[in-house]
């Protein structure tokens, strides 16, 4: 079974530039999550999708971040314009359902450096 795919693996940009990350969850997984993990901290949930609908985006800085999951499969997360404090690893995760016993499967993450 293929895992959660993310690209790119690394990205370096200058502040005020834009960047996009891509995620393809495990086939059949209805829920998809984007997390931001700043160095030395736990993952912080940015946005959660159920199929192609947004369940929660309360922690997403909507003035600069956007995300979509067209057709309920793969997803993109965009930052425009980037700030220095956006430097972090962006993790995508998926699960079959949102039941309490469903664990998350994670991708390898995208490490973003904003200079």
- From candidates 12, 14, 56, 84, binder to other proteins by CB under 8 A: 56
State how far the Cα of 68 lies from the Cα of 77, in Å rounded to an integer. Answer: 7
- From candidates 13, 30, 89, 96, binder to other proteins by CB under 8 A: 89
Contact 58, 45 (CB under 8 A): no
The distance of closest approach from Cβ of residue 81 to other proteins in the complex, given in angstroms and rounded to an integer, is: 26
Q: Please list, residue by residue across 54-93, b when 16 or more beta carbons sit within 10 angstroms of its beta carbon and e when fewer do.
A: eeebeebeeeebbbebeeeeebebebeebeeebbbbbbbb
The distance of closest approach from Cβ of residue 16 to other proteins in the complex, given in angstroms and rounded to an integer, is: 27
**Stretch 95-114: interaction string toward other proteins, x if CB under 8 A:** x--xxxxxxxxx-xx-x---
Given the rule CB under 8 A, which residues bind other proteins? 31, 33, 35, 40-45, 48, 55-56, 58-59, 89, 91, 93, 95, 98-106, 108-109, 111
């Amino acid at each position: 079974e293929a895992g959660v795919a993310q690209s790119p693996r690394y990205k370096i940009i200058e502040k005020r530039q834009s960047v996009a990350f891509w995620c393809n969850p495990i086939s059949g997984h209805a829920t998809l999550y984007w997390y931001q993990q700043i160095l030395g901290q736990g993952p912080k949930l940015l946005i959660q999708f159920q199929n192609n609908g947004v369940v929660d985006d309360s922690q997403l800085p909507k003035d600069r971040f956007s995300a979509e999951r067209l057709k309920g499969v793969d997803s993109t997360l965009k930052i425009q314009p980037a700030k220095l404090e956006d430097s972090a690893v962006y993790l995508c995760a998926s699960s079959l359902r949102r039941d309490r016993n469903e664990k998350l499967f994670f991708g390898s993450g995208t490490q973003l450096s904003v200079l």
